A and B are shown apart, each in its own frame.
Chain A
């Protein structure tokens, strides 16, 4: 759609005709200062389409103060190769003419045609308002309103959807949204948003409940009434059948009879009781009397018993006395035997004693002998020891001197050997019987002599020969020998011996003596371990003992012949003692028993005598007679009472007072209960009658019937309403679901166009649309923002972009589009404005865009320069207004 020419006359500030022509495809920019009439031109376009020519509510279109003016607008536009020419005059000489090519329409018909084409409605009354503006309301933006997008979209919604249904096939619905609203309304009349009953449904439910309660109460009342009626019927019947007969009277009579019979029976019972008491007394007296008699009897028996006891005691005593002598004799015999045994034992003991003493004496004699020998041996040994010790003393050899002596002898021997060696040997062999003298010594036979010193050999016969042995050594040797010999001689002297051999002999002898001494001492030790003195004293002591024992023994009489067995004697004594003891005991026991018997005999005698005296007394005799008399008297009385009681009991039993008592009670109770029943019935009947009269007057059955019918009617109605409510609920849900499906189908193409423009402004950003096709969330680089939360400038930009997207959508659907912007995007910063110019330029490729502005500099670069804008003078205002149809794109 393209507007080519616009003329206004007597319209607001334009009192004279003003024409805007040569409008082109794409962007048409008109710039001028404030108050220059830009908005008036926009108003004129809107009025031409939106206001009914016949409307009386458009006086504001007249120039100020000119009530005679007839505001007039003429618009020429092209659509689908047809030329449309619209002429509209308001208030005065109102008319509307529409020429489509050559076809003429006028009045309402013309207006409907325009509304159909552009998609808007007329106000049914008065001036057109925003909700009527439909699609133009969305695309023709008034000054300062471009950021508001939601409301215009809502108003255009229906037209948008129906316009778009061409592209989308059959899915949109002509009256769908309105239908939903109406279903919502209808549902709201019965159900709340949460599905709770409301309005009439709630009311009728409550009414039903109330009626039901009433009905229950009423039913209850009716039931009570019926029960009471039945009860009353029953009572009346009982009164007629029972109470009228006075059935209690016979029972009263019977009760009286029974009472009289009972009184008679009770009198008998009293008498009986008296007699029974008398009988009881009689019995106890009888008992007492019999007891007395029994006592007398018992005494008599006791006497005979005591007599028997007395006899028995005397007999026992006599029996006992028989044994006295015998037992005494036995005891004396036992005593003698015992004495004998005792003497025997004494003799035996003496003999044993003597024998023991003799044995001791013998032992002591022997011991004494031994001790004597010991004593002698000891003395001998001691003497020998003294002698030996003296010997040892005299022959004592000093060991050192002995050793010196031996050494001297050895040296002498060595010297001797050397002498032999160096000595002059003188061998001789002398004729038998001849002798020589060597140094005064006669020699014979054959022999050898060593000569160490000058020796004179006198040979008888021959003379003397002097022989001098040679060498000086012999002399040393001789001198040494002499010194040694001298020393040896000294030693020998000291040793009091003559030779070494003797000394050595002495040593040997000493050794033998020492050994002997040891031997003697050992023996002595054995013989007198406690010393010799002890031996002596032992010996002496034994001697004294022996002496005294010998003397004692001498005093004892001589032992009788034969051996005595001590044990045998002891046993005999013990036996004799036991026999004696037994005899003594028997005797003692017997004496005790005897005393006892005597006492018993005496006491039995006494007892018997006492009782005998008592029983024989005259008082006792008379008492016994009295008791017997009383007994017979009491027995007679008892008999009499028994008979009386027995006879009377028969009378009482036949009267049976217990049953009579029960009869009285039974008949009286029966009569009373019948009377009470009758009285109660009478009371209950009158109570029930009053009660039923009251209930009956209430017309319960009728009321119940009425309420039942009403309840039935209301229940049906309630059911209908409930069904309607469910149906509306279902319907609403189905409509909403299906509408949503549709909306989703519409959203997709709109989204496509939105994103197309958005990419020119914010590359990569998206803007979602809600189910009412309203832009909703702007997403830039993962940052989501609700449209309302954006800055004013951004909202302006989104408002324009959205409108352009709707225009594209409509364009695709083959619907006319015209975009009018009055001073849009005043809050855009420079950079954004440049982007928005690209957006606008792009939209201008597909739509005619008429743009009014008072800021020409802001719109430079919108595809051309302001210098090409045509100046245009407006008549109605003082200053010039520049109208700058911008350069056409291409």
Chain B
């Protein structure tokens, strides 16, 4: 949640720095309808840092329903004057900036007809840039969108003679045609390498001129998913090296497989704990990592006598077909190694 506030802050800062004419938000400013007053106030306060107009349409997550995040914000009086929420499909002209906005706000969570259709027949002042603002799936262009709701014609920019069509809903950065772009979500929230975390800086000299589009990274966290197999000794060193190279404040999901000695397992846990501190989140799955006690392990841990027998029994159980049993045995082995390594110095002294 905090990351989203930060990204708004960053966007406001970037807009101010680039001295843009307006910031367009193509839907889903909020990811839910029913938010706390604090969240609403804070978001709009952060937006207010950019003094120019924010032009916002509702998306499917914050659709302009009978009661919505927008009616709530309005009740609270949280919306600053420079934030324009376009709740109806009506032309909005920003004379000062010479921008004519054709919005296609969602007033239902899902629609099955193209809300941008009216753009084609809408008249705009000739001296204004003709800009479409919509939220949905461009038909036939996006994966998994076979029968996605909120369809948008891929030729809309052309048929509606738009200078630019700003689209939202797709979480990654994606260009549809010369004048049609998805910016993607400015703060990533999934493990997907699709270029999320950007805003687009769009420069258009005059009406009909081709737009110059520049992505700017504003996202704070990278979402990284890694799958490692530990087979030979050097693999562990490689893993450690890779972990150290991950960008700070990432969201990391690590799955480890293969096998590891008890001592290496201890080292691994220590390293992971250390690395965890550097990131927004580090999760790891070790269920498929088998603990393989070695002679050295047993000597170093003083796992002599019947304790040694127990170590062997657990190692064998780990290899059993029953996942649950194997997992329990693995955990037991790890606990045993931990307890022994704690008591080892004392026994030695």
> Closest approach, in angstroms, between the C-beta of B164 and any C-beta of chain A?
31
How long is the Cα–Cα vector from A229 to B303 in the complex, in angstroms?
65
Complex alpha-carbon distance, A102 and B260, angstroms: 49
Whether A236 lies near B66 (C-beta < 8 A) is: yes
Q: Which residues of B300-315 have CB atoms within 8 Å of chain A's CB atoms?
A: 302-310, 313-314
Distance (whole angstroms) from the CB of B278 to the closest CB of chain A:
20
A230 touches B339 (CB 8 A): no
Instruction: Give CA–CA (A323, B99) in the complex, Å.
Output: 148
Contact assessment for A723 and B36 in the assembled complex, using a CB-CB cutoff below 8 Å: no
For the complex, is A730 an interface residue (Cβ under 8 Å from B)? yes
Q: Is B101 located at the chain interface by the 8 A CB criterion?
A: no
Q: Are A731 and B66 in contact (CB under 8 A)?
A: no
Does B314 contact A179, Cβ atoms closer than 8 Å?
no
Q: Is A550 an interface residue (CB 8 A)?
A: no
Assess whether A497 is interfacial by the CB under 8 Å rule. Answer: no
Cα(A689)–Cα(B305), bound, Å: 75
A273 in the interface, Cβ–Cβ < 8 Å?
no
Cα distance, A231 to B335, chains bound together (Å): 56
User: A178 interface residue, CB < 8 Å from B?
Assistant: yes
**B33 at interface (Cβ–Cβ under 8 A)?**
yes
Minimum distance in angstroms from A240 CB to a CB of chain B:
12
Please give the distance in Å from A323's CB to the nearest CB on chain B: 121
A129 to B302, CA, bound (A): 27
Bound Cα distance from A703 to B34, whole angstroms:
9
Residue pair A738, B331 in contact (C-beta under 8 Å): no
B305:A174 contact, CB within 8 angstroms: yes
Chain B residue with minimal CB distance to A740? B306
Residue B82 lies at the interface, judged by CB distance under 8 Å to chain A: no
B306-A172 in contact (CB<8A)? yes
* Of B17-25, B68-76, B143-151, B264-272, the one touching chain A: B68-76
Residues of B with C-beta under 8 A to A742: 305-306
Q: Is A173 an interface residue (CB 8 A)?
A: yes
Residue in contact with B308 in the complex, picked from A170, A222, A693, A696, CB distance below 8 Å: A170
The reply on A233 being an interface residue by CB < 8 A is yes
Cα distance, A392 to B33, chains bound together (Å):
183
Asked if A695 is at the interface (CB within 8 A of a chain B CB), the reply is yes
How far does the Cβ of A597 sit from chain B's closest Cβ, in whole Å? 114
Which of A176, A222, A235, A702 contacts B39 (CB under 8 A)? A702
Judge whether B339 and A703 touch: CB under 8 Å: no
- Taking the nearest CB of chain A, how far is it from the CB of B69, in angstroms? 8
Give per-residue flags for A229-252: 1 if the beta carbon is below 8 A from chain B beta carbons, else 0: 111111110000000000000000
Within 166-182 of A, Cβ neighbours of B (below 8 Å) are at 170-176, 178-179, 182
User: Does B249 interact with chain A (Cβ within 8 Å)?
Assistant: no
Q: Please tell me if the beta carbons of B306 and A232 are within 8 angstroms of each other in the complex.
A: no
- A contact residues around B187 at 8 Å (CB): none
Complex Cα gap A228–B332 (Å): 52
A696 touches B65 (CB 8 A): no
Interface residue ranges of A385-423 to B (CB < 8 Å):
none
Q: Are A229 and B66 in contact (CB under 8 A)?
A: yes
A357 interfacial contact with B, CB 8 Å: no
- Residue among B34, B68, B304 facing the most chain A CB atoms (10 A cut-off): B34
B305 touches A176 (CB 8 A): yes
Contact of A727 among B67, B68, B108, B328 (CB under 8 A): B328
A696/B39 contact (C-beta < 8 A), A174-B347, A179-B339, A726-B331 known? no
Q: A165 on the interface (CB 8 Å rule)? A: yes
Q: How far is the CA of A734 from the CA of B314 in the complex (A)?
A: 9
Which chain B residues border A696 with CB–CB below 8 Å? 33-34, 67, 71-72, 75
In this complex, how many residues of chain B approach chain A with their Cβ under 8 Å: the count is 41
> Interface centre among A170, A174, A695, A702, by most B CB within 10 Å?
A702
- A701 pairs with B33, CB closer than 8 A: yes
Interface of chain A residues 188 through 229 with chain B (CB within 8 A): 222, 225, 228-229
**Chain A residues within an 8 Å CB radius of B108:** 233
Contacts of A577 in B (CB 8 A): none
Q: Which of B4-42 contact A (CB under 8 A)?
A: 32-37, 39
Are A697 and B306 closer than 8 Å at their CB atoms? Answer: no
Q: Are the CB atoms of A728 and B34 closer together than 8 Å? A: no
A819-840 toward B: CB 8 Å interface, digit per residue (1/0)? 0000000000000000000000
Interface residues on A, range: 35 or more
* Smallest CB separation, A172 vs chain B (Å): 4
A186 on interface, CB distance cutoff 8 Å? yes
> Which residues of chain A are near B317, meaning CB under 8 Å?
730
Minimum C-beta distance from A681 to chain B (A): 12
- The minimal Cβ–Cβ distance linking A746 to chain B, given in whole angstroms, is 11
Name the A residues within 8 Å of B306 (CB-CB).
171-173, 176, 735, 738-739, 741-742
Closest A residue to B67 by beta carbon equals A692
**Contact, CB under 8 Å: B68 / A702:** no
Is the pair B67, A232 in contact by a Cβ cutoff of 8 Å?
Answer: yes
Across the interface, B331 reaches (CB within 8 A) one of A175, A234, A693, A723, namely A723
Q: Is A542 an interface residue (CB 8 A)?
A: no
Chain A: interface secondary structure?
helix
Rounded to whole Å, the gap between the CB of B66 and the closest CB of chain A is 4
What's the nearest-Cβ distance from chain A to residue B89, in Å? Answer: 15
Q: Is B343's beta carbon under 8 Å from chain A?
A: yes
The residue in chain A whose Cβ has the minimal distance to the Cβ of B76 is: A697
Contact B329 A730 (CB under 8 A): yes
Residues of B contacting A231 in the complex (Cβ-Cβ under 8 angstroms): 66
Whose C-beta in chain A lies nearest to the C-beta of B338? A186
Pick the contact of B343: A172, A179, A232, A689 (CB < 8 A): A179
Shortest CB-to-CB span from B78 to chain A, Å, is 12
Q: Mark B324-335, 1 if CB is under 8 A from A, else 0.
A: 000111111011
Q: Report the bound CA distance from A548 to B343 in whole Å.
A: 182
Tell yes or no: A705 within 8 A of B by CB. yes
Judged by a CB distance under 8 angstroms, whether B336 is at the interface is yes
Task: List, in ascending order, chain B residues with CB within 8 A of A236's CB.
Answer: 66
Is B85 close to A, CB under 8 A?
no
Residues of chain A contacted by B66 (CB below 8 angstroms): 229-236, 688, 692
Q: A175 and B308: CB pair below 8 A?
A: no
**Chain A neighbourhood of B327, CB < 8 A:** 723
B343 touching A182 by the CB < 8 A rule? yes
A698 within 8 A of B: yes
Contact A173 B305 (CB under 8 A): yes
Contact between chains at B310 and A165 (CB < 8 Å): no
Q: How far is the CB of A85 from chain B (nearest CB, A)?
A: 26
Beta-carbon contact of B36 and A702 below 8 Å: yes
- Say if the beta carbon of B176 comes within 8 Å of chain A: no
Minimal beta-carbon separation of B322 from chain A (angstroms)? 12
CA distance A99 to B65 in the complex (A): 95
Tell me whether A702 and B35 are in contact in the complex, defined as CB-CB below 8 angstroms, given that A176-B305, A727-B331, A727-B332 are known contacts.
yes
Assuming the contacts A697-B72, A699-B34, asked whether A173 and B308 have C-beta atoms less than 8 A apart, the reply is yes
Q: Which of A741-798 contact B (CB under 8 A)?
A: 741-742
Q: Is B340 located at the chain interface by the 8 A CB criterion? A: yes
* In the assembled complex, A700 has its CB within 8 A of some CB on chain B: yes
In the assembled complex, the Cα of A225 lies from the Cα of B308 at a distance in Å of: 61
A724 in the interface, Cβ–Cβ < 8 Å? Answer: yes
Nearest A residue to B30 via CB reads: A701
Given the contacts A182-B339, A229-B68, A176 and B307 also touching, CB distance less than 8 Å: yes
Residues from chain B with Cβ under 8 Å of A703 in the complex: 36
Distance of A688 Cα from B340 Cα, bound (Å): 65
- B307 / chain A contacts, CB cutoff of 8 Å: 173, 175-176, 179, 735, 738
Instruction: Kindly name the residue among A178, A689, A695, A723 whose own CB sees the greatest number of chain B CB atoms within 10 A.
Output: A723
Complex alpha-carbon distance, A705 and B68, angstroms:
17
Interface residues of A in 704-723 (CB under 8 A from B): 705, 723
Could you tell me if B332 and A699 are in contact, using CB atoms closer than 8 angstroms? no
Check A174–B304 contact: CB distance below 8 A: yes
- Contact between chains at B309 and A738 (CB < 8 Å): yes
The answer for the CA separation of A697 and B34 in the assembled complex, in Å, is 8
The interface centre, meaning the residue of A165, A174, A730 with most chain B CB atoms within 10 A of its CB, is: A730
The 10 A-B pairs with the shortest beta carbon distances in the complex, nearest first, are A173-B305, A699-B36, A701-B32, A232-B66, A727-B331, A233-B66, A738-B306, A727-B332, A701-B34, A692-B67
Beyond A176-B305, A727-B330, A738-B310, 13 additional contacts (C-beta under 8 Å) are: A175-B347, A183-B335, A229-B67, A233-B66, A233-B107, A233-B108, A698-B34, A702-B32, A705-B32, A731-B332, A734-B313, A738-B313, A742-B305
